[in-house]
Amino acid sequence: TLIRIIYALLIKDTMQAATDDTEQVVRARLKETKALVRKLSELFSAADTSGDGFLSREEFDALLAYPKVQTWMSALGMVVEDREVLFSILVNEEVNDDKISWEEFVQGIMRMKGHAREQDILCNMRDIRRILKLCKDMRSEVLTLLQADRQTKK
């Protein structure tokens, strides 16, 4: 029974250490995320030379022209060589197709840094399936209209 008590105490201490380690990892990641958001906010503010709260294409290109910014973004796992593609990924075309808001900038970079998350990939796959279905439906409607048009011409 003494051995069981010792084992129980060892297991309890091990479990507590594992819990503490997990909490430390979560706190460290949260701290890193906050620091990254702060850095991105500073970067956005510095690049927004017009002060309108948006990055124009010119302001965005000027930002990425700085070697330190290129190095820093590359360290985040981003490809900064193709600025046009990067700009088009960050801009929300439904809202504003020629400027990037602070929110779009920060959220976009956070999503793109490193590898794509599975959740993002699954969302993209879902959207592609919806678009494909819309295309098929439109094709079917066009074919129906063409057939009806041919019938009226006969």
pLDDT band at 114 (very low <50, low <70, confident <90, very high): low
In this predicted model, what pLDDT tens digit does every residue of 124-150 receive, in sequence order? 887 888 899 999 999 999 999 998 888
Query: Has residue 52 got a pLDDT over 90?
Result: yes
- In whole angstroms, what is the distance from residue 95 CA to residue 75 CA? 30
Give pLDDT tens digits for 72-91: 888 887 777 778 888 888 88
- From the list 43, 47, 112, the residue with the least C-alpha distance to 76 is 112
Higher pLDDT, 24 or 54: 54
- Greater pLDDT, 117 or 37: 37
What is the average pLDDT across 96-123? 78
User: The domain 2-115 is classified under which CATH number: 2.40.420.20, 3.30.565.10, 1.20.1050.10, 1.10.238.10?
Assistant: 1.10.238.10
Segment 5-34 mean pLDDT: 77
Residue with tokens 């011409």: 153
In this prediction, residues 34-44 reach a mean pLDDT of: 90
Query: 43: which residues sit within 8 A by CB, 6+ positions away?
Result: 63, 69
Q: What is the pLDDT of residue 138?
A: 94
Report phi then psi at 66, rounded to 5. Answer: -75, 125
Per-residue model confidence (pLDDT) at position 55: 94
Looking at the predicted structure, is the pLDDT value of residue 116 above 60?
no
